[in-house]
Amino acid sequence: MRKVEEHRSLLLTAVGAALATALLLSAAQGPMGCFGERSGVSRVTAEGRPPAVLLPSPALALAGGKAAPRAVSLAGVAERALPSVVNISSTKVVRHPGARYLMPFGANPFFREFFGEQLHRFRMPKEHREKSLGSGVIVSADGVVLTNYHVVAHASKITVTTHDKREYGAKIVGKDPKSDLAVIRLQGKVSGLRPLPFGDSGKLRLGDFVLAIGNPFGVGQTVTMGIVSAKGRANVGIVDYEDFIQTDAAINPGNSGGALVDMNGRLVGINTAILSRSGGYQGIGFAIPSNMARPIMRSLLKTGKVVRGFLGVSIQDLTPALARGMGLGNVRGVLVSDVQPKSPADRAGLRRGDVIQRVNGERVRSSARLRNIIAAQGAGAKVSIALLRGGKRITLSAQLGTLKQAARLSARIRPREGALGGMEVGALSEEARRAYRIPRRIRDGVVVKKVTPFTPAAMSGLRRGDVIMQVNRRDVRSVKEFLDLYKKARHNVVLLVSRRGSTFYLVISR
């Protein structure tokens, strides 16, 4: 009897829930639209409000402004994009300058005489092969694949595996370490490839859903979902030119070079790096935006290299506090802190204290964004620069130079590049002498223009405004000469430094 009562109670509960659902649905048909009899059918109500949409598979309803929303099936987007993402296996040969003993007593003559020839088996071979796994994106039907530079850097052999398990050898067409991008081409007869169309990364908004597709940890193709959590991430310290899309879609080792796809199934980014203390996914991943990757890819396909534009200014973000201190009020833009002599900026008439607000009509609000725009224009391009000077709006025209000119005037040493990593040096110009009060008796050297905190350069004791006069007892007369001497240094680096009129030696271990 108890079981009959329990069944009756459950039946009444189910009937009540069904009636409540029916009442809610009938109420929703008025202002919010109505459900069609068939799955996926929708129509607009008399009030013109967007309807609700029902799909047979998990989906997201995306608002489309005044137009009716589009319901996007995540499974459908993934199915369209997966065939365009490939797995990349690269092999490189690492050569050692000479065999060395792995055992602590291996180099001792006594043990060498005692063991005889058997000791050779304890020696490291002169070369060994290292394998790495990554991902790539098919961007053309004839076998062009876009990936990260670090996935194929120094590779002696590259093998690409497509979604349907076909394997191809591949050759590098061009690579750009400054942006961590590379273009490779499949070898042999290729057919049936499905290139992934490019999307407009500039239209991404914070909170937009994205899919990350790649080959994490070599387990095979994997799709993860997240949102765009930030845009325009620069100064991360990964590469020279950064304008990353930040996402919380799970990205792990092996995802590098894979696709970041929007809800239209278009390529909006190349997954590149993660921010992690453990080496695994912790919720912050970075992707190179498609609007940055696409022109670099075209340049690599055309010439095998990227020729970036050079303006010749030192710039910094115009913070609200700095704007108020300079009497600029609520002005937004990028502040010019120095103009390099005989540079394109100098010839165009830019001055220290100018606030650059637009380049070719595009608004710039950060120094990283301005740097990327100028670089993307290419050498020889003419750009229109709208700026604010002394309360007046001025527009100047500049013809950009090449980064070879920049190398003669200034250079950055990235944080990972040895004992002086994280530093920027510049030529000993008249502007530098005035800015850092360098005495006339200091005739040659390079000026330390910037030292990034918590980097090897900062820990070495160098400061902004120091003049490096010698490297290992060799005089320094230009930025190029300084870089050459620094690269040739094998162990300790001995610098002769001038600081505020005093001269001293500084020893740094490489």
pLDDT tens profile 258-281: 999 999 999 999 999 888 777 777
Instruction: Answer whether residue 461 shows pLDDT above 60.
Output: yes
pLDDT at 444: 84
Longest dimension (CA), the chain: 108
pLDDT at 1: 43
Banded pLDDT at 131 (limits 50, 70, 90): confident
What kind and span of H or E run contains 200?
A: none
Residues 131, 247 within the same domain: yes
Tell me, yes or no, if 180 is annotated catalytic: yes
Instruction: Answer whether residue 151 shows pLDDT above 60.
Output: yes
Instruction: Answer whether residue 165 shows pLDDT above 80.
Output: yes
The one catalytic residue in 176, 180, 243, 354 is: 180
Q: Does residue 30 belong to any structural domain of this protein?
A: no
Query: Which domain does 451 fall in, by range?
Result: 414-509
Q: Which comes out higher in pLDDT, residue 454 or 39?
A: 454
pLDDT at 257: 93
Looking at 208-212, 237-241, 384-388, 419-423, which range is the least confident one? 237-241
Query: Which residues are 162's β-sheet partners?
Result: none
Mean pLDDT of the region 34-63:
38
The one catalytic residue in 90, 150, 248, 367 is: 150
pLDDT at 471: 92
Q: Is 203 helix (H, G, I), strand (E, B) or coil?
A: helix
Banded pLDDT at 408 (limits 50, 70, 90): low
Residues 193, 328 within the same domain: no
Residues 228, 83 within the same domain: yes
pLDDT at 347: 92
Q: Does residue 78 belong to any structural domain of this protein?
A: yes
Residues 202, 272 within the same domain: yes
Tell me, yes or no, if 466 is annotated catalytic: no
Answer yes or no: are the C-beta atoms of 184 and 136 closer than 8 Å. yes
Answer yes or no: are the C-beta atoms of 119 and 112 closer than 8 Å. yes
pLDDT in tens, 99-124: 444 444 444 554 444 445 554 444 55
Residues 315, 296 within the same domain: no
Look at residues 384, 404, 424 and tell me which one is the last residue of a structural domain: 404
Q: Does residue 257 belong to any structural domain of this protein?
A: yes
Answer yes or no: are the C-beta atoms of 243 and 372 closer than 8 Å. yes
Look at residues 374, 404, 434 and tell me which one is the last residue of a structural domain: 404
Residues 285, 157 within the same domain: yes
Average pLDDT, the chain: 79
Q: Does residue 387 belong to any structural domain of this protein?
A: yes
The CA distance from 228 to 248, in Å, is 7
Answer yes or no: are the C-beta atoms of 53 and 72 closer than 8 Å. no
Residues 78, 174 within the same domain: yes
Q: Please report which residue ranges of 410-471 form alpha helices under DSSP H.
A: 430-436, 456-460
Q: State residue 103 phi and psi, 5-degree precision.
A: -90, 145
Instruction: Answer whether residue 28 shows pLDDT above 50.
Output: no
For residue 428, the domain's CATH number is 2.30.42.10
Mean pLDDT of the region 288-294:
94
Residues contacting 400, CB < 8 A, separation 6+: 309, 310, 311, 344, 374, 377, 378, 379, 380, 381, 382, 383
Q: Which comes out higher in pLDDT, residue 117 or 485?
A: 485
Q: Does residue 391 belong to any structural domain of this protein?
A: yes
Mean pLDDT of the region 345-362:
92
Q: What percent of the chain has pLDDT over 70?
A: 76
Residues 104, 170 within the same domain: yes
Q: Which comes out higher in pLDDT, residue 12 or 300?
A: 300
Mean pLDDT of the region 237-256:
86
Residues 319, 358 within the same domain: yes
The one catalytic residue in 84, 132, 229, 256 is: 256
The CA distance from 261 to 201, in Å, is 10
Residues 184, 314 within the same domain: no
Answer yes or no: are the C-beta atoms of 252 and 274 closer than 8 Å. yes
Q: Does residue 497 belong to any structural domain of this protein?
A: yes
Banded pLDDT at 366 (limits 50, 70, 90): confident
The CA distance from 173 to 183, in Å, is 5
Residues 233, 324 within the same domain: no
pLDDT in tens, 303-313: 888 888 889 88
For residue 84, the domain's CATH number is 2.40.10.120
> What total number of domains does the chain contain?
3
Residues 132, 251 within the same domain: yes
pLDDT at 245: 94
Banded pLDDT at 243 (limits 50, 70, 90): confident
Tell me, yes or no, if 240 is annotated catalytic: no
Q: Does residue 19 belong to any structural domain of this protein?
A: no
Q: Does residue 321 belong to any structural domain of this protein?
A: yes
pLDDT at 110: 47
Q: Please report which residue ranges of 29-104 form alpha helices under DSSP H.
A: 74-81
Banded pLDDT at 34 (limits 50, 70, 90): very low
Q: Give the residue carrying structure tokens 């002696």.
A: 156
Look at residues 274, 291, 306 and tell me which one is the last residue of a structural domain: 306
Banded pLDDT at 208 (limits 50, 70, 90): very high
Measured N-to-C along each axis, helices 367-377 and 290-303 cross at an angle, to the nearest 10 degrees, of 30
pLDDT at 293: 94
Instruction: Answer whether residue 230 shows pLDDT above 60.
Output: yes
Question: What single letter denotes the amino acid at residue 18?
Answer: A
